[in-house]
A = this chain, B = another copy of it.
């Protein structure tokens, strides 16, 4: 099976398969005499594992850990659970961050006429116009570097 077939069978693009090999997430594929990569059913299994983990938002680093645990017959499920729960926490942190942005914007937009007139609380807020009630008190600016999640 060459890389195109492996890609179709796993749902991982050929580009990404090469990339994953390059960065060491997956081992180097064996080659034909002419240099074409060759994949086995087992390789496709691994690629599917990677795609599912990717779909769940795991980073390459986390996938490396997960792949190692997957291959380790003597693994402790607590190790897997720890990674998963850490990721869930990161997802929830990110969601809260987005929620806060969305809430602020929705509030501002709800007070915006949205017609031909130029007055707009959204622009006003961004410009820092103190017009009485403030929507963003501020404390969500330095939310830290919780960017482990999401591309």
Chain A residues with CB under 8 Å of chain B are 11, 45, 48-49, 51-53, 55-57, 66, 69-70, 72-78, 80-82, 84-85, 87-88, 91-92, 94-95, 98-99, 101-102, 104-106, 108-109, 112-120, 122-123, 125-128, 136, 140-141, 147, 149-151
Listed from nearest, the 10 A-B pairs whose CB atoms lie closest are A77-B120, A81-B114, A91-B102, A57-B101, A78-B114, A80-B120, A81-B112, A76-B116, A84-B109, A75-B118
A122-B81, A126-B70 as given contacts; A102 in contact with B114, CB under 8 Å: no
Chain B residues within an 8 Å CB radius of A119: 77
Shortest distance in angstroms between A25's beta carbon and chain B's nearest beta carbon? Answer: 14
B123, A74: Cβ atoms under 8 Å?
no
Chain B residues closer than 8 Å to A70, beta-carbon distance: 123, 126-127
Which B residue's beta carbon lies closest to that of A63?
Answer: B126
Give the shortest distance, in Å, between A72 (CB) and chain B (any CB).
8
**Is the beta-carbon distance between A123 and B69 smaller than 8 angstroms?**
yes
Beyond A45-B128, A81-B112, A91-B98, 19 additional contacts (C-beta under 8 Å) are A11-B141, A52-B126, A55-B101, A56-B101, A56-B126, A57-B101, A75-B118, A75-B120, A77-B119, A77-B120, A78-B113, A80-B120, A81-B109, A81-B114, A84-B109, A84-B112, A84-B122, A88-B106, A98-B98
